[in-house]
Chain A
Amino acid sequence: MYDAPALAPSRNLCRVTALAPCMTDTYPTDAPFEMTDSGSGQGRLFRPLGDWTLDRAAALDRDLKRLEPSAGAVRIDGGGLGQLDTAGAWLLVRLGRRLSGDQAEPAFDNFAPAHAVLLERVGETERETPAPPAKGNGIVDFVGRIGGGVVGAGQQGRQLIGFLGLATVTMGRVLRQPSRLRYTALVHQIEKTGLDALPIVGLLTFLIGVVLAYQGAEQLRTFGAEIFTVNLLGVSILRELGILITAIIVAGRSGSAFTAQIGTMKVNQEVDAMQTMGLDPIEVLVLPRMLALMVSLPLLTFFADIMGLAGGGVICLFLLDIPPDQYMRQLANATDISHFWVGMVKAPFFAAIIALVGCFEGLRVSGSAESVGRLTTQSVVESIFLVIIADAAFSILFQVMGV
């Protein structure tokens, strides 16, 4: 393209200028550079013209790429240069490097002192670009990720069981010396996790009762057995739904709060400070939260049961014309008290799981605030998962026991 050496120097300038992309409308000003042959065996002369700044860098980059294949020693003359910034200086340095081959430093002549300083600084850029991280085989990576996930989950399970042991031992020690228990923290946590959760738990379980009664009544009506809607409500809410919905809400509300609170303390090095003063973070942070949740979750479950049955009762009254007194009588006849206890007995176990996972993930936070967010998400997912697993285990247990 730039077959300049074949041409006489005088004509050469016009020729190259005419070839340069200034003729397109890329540039508001004249040609950004010209290439001339000095003819004296010193190689060719490259003259940047006008401003070489970031604004024109994209266009300059394209044009220089087209110029570069015509190799040969080149001097770069800055006499015609207007403004220069680091982007422009980089383009000149790069051009010089490419044209002068990789051995010699490019020759820059006639630059204003400020431009020369800039070129020198930019010239310190390393020649070798770092190799991008190697991309592995897609399938191998995929299998590797699955394997890594499984191993990671296993390790975390082990750590969680270890943490359960630690919490149990600490609890045993504290129960022998009840004065060590932090009652203020305990009451505060009961208020936060129990009392403050009443509105949302009540509302949601009431609505669950409504939905359940409505759907049940629709189906049972086809057999003319609407009255059994009450049995359905009693058994399902008392045994499963009351506790499960409550546990899931509490995991989202309080389990995440535990992780975020303890995690933030970890980031602020508050936990480290505690340890240097001889305070046990398990005793100070984990136990009050765990005991508080084991108190408040059964209470919340009881409230949830009441609200769920109330929601069902409203539908029975309006849809099935079952008045409240008949609804209560049917409920008492149809549902054995054991259903209620089956639900209630699970509550402290679920509470322990939620508190344990929440605190465990909080204490795993290290370094940045970013990990607080990540582990909070993980804590909620994990505690809901474990609660449902535990619920399934309880179902099997009660089946075997015949309750």
Chain B
Amino acid sequence: MAAAENIIEVTGLRTQFGRQVIHEDLDFAVRRGEVMGVVGGSGTGKSVLLKEIIGLIRPAAGDIRVLGGDVLNDEAAMRRARESWGVLFQDGALFSSLTVAENIQVPMRERGGLSQALMDELALMKLALVGLPANAGPKFPSELSGGMRKRAGLARALALDPDLLFLDEPTAGLDPIGAADFDELIRNLQQSLDLTVVMVTHDLDSLVAVTDRISALVDKKVVVGTMAELMELDQPWLRSYFHGVRARQVAGMAAPAS
């Protein structure tokens, strides 16, 4: 497995809503086995970029390749890609009419071939994997706390053992302890399941704790580098993001990066 193999490759992307241009000639790449953080001010199109890669929004122009397949134009490549990724939406996006265990089984059932008993066991195993107690399985999403819903959403995203995991603001709305736990869980799972993770976040703590590299959306384009590299750059938004009061506190607590 070559370290530099790109599992996602976005080139020349252009996104436009009406007359408002969000991305212009944007390039973005994720290597296999890394955790890529995506940051940017509000309205810079972080979530839009994520939705374009997973095929929920169609870009105005550009090329998106996932696992080497052209997901924009090739239906078969899109289907392959869909089978090899899991997505965690902001509030879990669990199906409210199904229990947590049934939610986890939805992708398995869609895939077919597994007996109900085995799916029950696998769902239980996924719950343990994301740190939820077994008795969360028969509950409905509305009976869970926000943090538990995210974990359940993660369990569903992991249902088919994806290679690639997309996380949209995974720690938003969690208390600092819950957020730190969730960061650790993601790091842990990433290592033990050999995942490639793309994570849209605002949370500096998460960036420090989890990511290998960071893509910052600035001026409709992506600036990519490790946290230390990005902190060196002389760009107004990046400076205020990484050198603001909160950022200094986080950096002070983490290892001295620069």
Alpha-carbon distance between A114 and B193 when the two chains are bound, in angstroms: 8
Whether A126 touches B134, Cβ cut-off 8 Å, given contacts A114-B194, A121-B129, A370-B96, is yes
Check: A155 CB closer than 8 A to any chain B CB.
no
Structural contact, B134 and A129, CB atoms closer than 8 A: yes
CB of A117 within 8 A of CB of B121, answer no
Chain B residue, CB-CB nearest to A132: B138
B161-A94 in contact (CB<8A)? no
B193 close to A128 (CB less than 8 A) = no
- CB < 8 Å neighbour of B115 from A61, A86, A94: A61
Among B96, B121, B135, B142, contact of A130 (Cβ-Cβ < 8 Å): B135
Asked whether, in the complex, the Cβ of B142 is within 8 Å of the Cβ of A368, the reply is yes
B191 and A117 contacting across the interface, CB-CB below 8 Å: yes
- Would you call A125 and B158 a contact (CB within 8 A)? no
**In the complex, A122 has a CB within 8 A of chain B:** yes
Given A122-B125, A122-B129, A61 contacting B118 (CB threshold 8 A): yes
Q: Which residues of B contact A120 (CB under 8 A)?
A: 192
Tell me whether B114 and A129 are in contact (CB under 8 A).
Answer: no
Answer whether residue A207 sits at the interface, using C-beta atoms and an 8 A cutoff. Answer: no
Shortest distance between the CB of A51 and any CB in chain B (Å): 12
B100 CB to nearest chain A CB (Å): 11
Contacts of A124 in B (CB 8 A): 128-129
Partner of B124, one of A62, A129, A132: A129
* Bound: A368/B113 CA distance, A: 34
Q: What 1/0 flags go to B190-220 for Cβ under 8 Å of A? A: 0111100000000000000000000000000
Q: Mark A41-60, 1 if CB is under 8 A from B, else 0.
A: 00000000000011001100
Q: Do the beta carbons of B128 and A87 come within 8 Å of each other?
A: no
B141's closest neighbor in chain A, by CB? A368
How many Å lie between the Cα of A119 and that of B193 in the bound state? 10
> In the complex, which range does the number of interface residues on chain A fall in?
20 to 34
CB-based contact B161/A87 at 8 Å: yes
B23 in contact (CB, < 8 A): no
> In this assembly, does B126 line the interface, its C-beta being within 8 Å of a C-beta of chain A?
yes
B24 lies within 8 A of chain A by Cβ: no
Contacting residues, chain B, for A125 (C-beta < 8 A): 124-125, 127-129, 134
**Which parts of A58-77 form the interface with B (CB within 8 Å)?**
58, 61-62
User: Does A118 sit within 8 A of B, measured CB to CB?
Assistant: yes
B170 within 8 A of partner (CB): no
Tell me the minimal C-beta distance from B258 to chain A in angstroms.
32
Interfacial chain A residues near B96, Cβ < 8 Å: 368, 370
Known: A118-B193, A128-B134, A370-B96. A86 touches B158 (CB 8 A): yes
Give the nearest-CB partner of A54 in chain B: B161
Contact status B134-A130, CB under 8 Å: yes
**A58→B111 CA distance, assembly (Å):** 11
Interface flags for A98-134 (1: CB within 8 Å of B; 0: not) read: 0000000000000000100110111011101110110
A126-B128, A130-B135, A130-B138 are contacts. A90–B161 as well, Cβ < 8 Å? no
Pairwise interchain contact A58-B118, C-beta atoms closer than 8 A? yes
- Total A-B residue contacts, Cβ distance less than 8 Å: 72
A121 CB contact (under 8 Å) in B113, B121, B161, B192 = B192
Contact mask B113-155 → A, CB, 8 Å, 1/0?
1110010111011111100011101100010000000000000
User: What residues of chain A lie closer than 8 Å to B111, measured between beta carbons?
Assistant: 54
Pick the contact of B193: A54, A86, A90, A130 (CB < 8 A): A86
What is the distance, in angstroms, from A173's C-beta to the closest C-beta of chain B? 37
Does B223 lie at the interface of the complex (its beta carbon under 8 Å from any beta carbon of A)? no
The contact of B138 among A86, A87, A133, A367, by CB within 8 Å, is A133
The answer on a CB contact under 8 Å between B137 and A130 is: yes
**Contact A87-B115, Cβ < 8 Å, known A114-B194, A129-B134:** no
Contacts of B193 in A (CB 8 A): 85-86, 118
B135 proximity list for chain A (CB < 8 A): 130
Q: Closest CB-CB distance, B34 to chain A, in whole Å?
A: 16
The CA of A126 and the CA of B114, in the complex, are separated in Å by 21
Whether the Cβ atoms of A86 and B126 lie closer than 8 Å is yes
CA distance A126 to B124 in the complex (A): 8
27 contacts between A and B (CB under 8 A): A53-B161, A54-B161, A57-B114, A61-B114, A85-B193, A86-B122, A86-B125, A86-B129, A86-B193, A87-B161, A90-B121, A94-B121, A114-B192, A118-B192, A121-B188, A121-B192, A122-B129, A124-B128, A125-B124, A125-B127, A125-B128, A125-B134, A126-B124, A126-B128, A133-B138, A368-B142, A370-B142
Binding site for A on B (CB under 8 A): 96, 111, 113-115, 118, 120-122, 124-129, 133-135, 137-138, 142, 158, 160-161, 188-189, 191-194
What 7 additional pairs, Cβ within 8 angstroms, besides A120-B192, A125-B124, A129-B120? A53-B161, A86-B126, A87-B122, A117-B191, A124-B128, A125-B125, A126-B124
The 3 closest A-B pairs by CB, nearest first: A125-B128, A85-B161, A58-B113
